[in-house]
Structure 1
Amino acid sequence: MGVESYFINLVFEGVKQEKQAGGRGFVGNTNLIINDVEFYIKGKGARKIGIDKYLFDDSIIIELISENNSVLAITLQGCLSWYPQGLDTMVSFARSLNNEVSPIHLSYPALKDYYSIKDSNVFIEDIMSIYSEKYDNFKKQNIHILNTKLPPGKEFYRYKDKSNNLIFKVLKKIFK
């Protein structure tokens, strides 16, 4: 995860997030087959961008965490250029998934508890608190691309480079 991004986890019932060698992992069982979850995600307008990865709403990367063809959790990653709007989109997606596919819990590794969908507003507040310093630093360095709907990663950096070059060209003309 880069300086431009943030994430949350959607953990299906019957699964727990545990500390493991090399980071955190998910353990447990679900009856959710990868193909069924992929079908649902594509039906919501997401497009496939990699193995078990999708781009949703032109701003959110959806990654399926699976084991033995069974989906245990979903990681949603967004770009701080579209924050907090992207976080709202993530939680809205989680609500739909919870209501239409299977019960989930909202999760973030630094938070000890899982949050139910009905507590999503508290979860959003806690995530906003966790990312407040990172977002403040991002705003200082990227004021010119705030409120820009971008996914994290390569597309963000491409846009930032283009934007910085344009600003440089304008300033160069002004100060000639």
Structure 2
Amino acid sequence: MKPEEFNHTIVPMRAGLKEQARRMTGDDALAEDLVQEVMLRMWSMRQSLERYSDKRALAVTILRNMVRDRWRHSRLEQGKPYDGGEPVAEDLTAERHDEAELVRLIVDHLPPLQARIFRMKEIEGYDSKEIMQITGCSAESLRQNLSRARRKILSDFTKLTRMRVKNNVDDTTGRTLS
């Protein structure tokens, strides 16, 4: 898609996207930021936009995913694991929080590509096609890296939890309980 075509087709969607973003977030400034990010993403994929029959639906999907990503990210920054739902009243126990923190630490120690792919797929909710586009991985490579990451996380999590139980260690202080 040429720049003139982009300006004629995509840019006019901006006002409608901003209104939708405002409804989704309740914040004018955040809505403007999100729409700007959508426009940048659409611009970066302008060479492949012809293959999408409904460009507005694509823009709305990108916007919706960005809103979800920001919500998930804010939950993670607050130490609240993403539970797959929308914002609800908190009922997380200290144990779940500790387990989530342990998984975060394990993910931080994975090889960089595996950690990135795992975060994008399991935490940020990207689909496989998006991850392949972003990382440049083939479908087989993506599947293998994700599988290896999951196995390593499960293995390390199991080992560490068994060690905690065996040693009867208090997760919050690191002191042995007697």
TM surpasses 0.5: no
Larger radius of gyration between Structure 1 and Structure 2: 2
Q: What TM-score, normalized to structure 1?
A: 0.27
Question: Which has more helix, going by share of residues?
Answer: 2
Structure of higher RCO (CA pairs closer than 8 Å, 6+ residues apart): 1
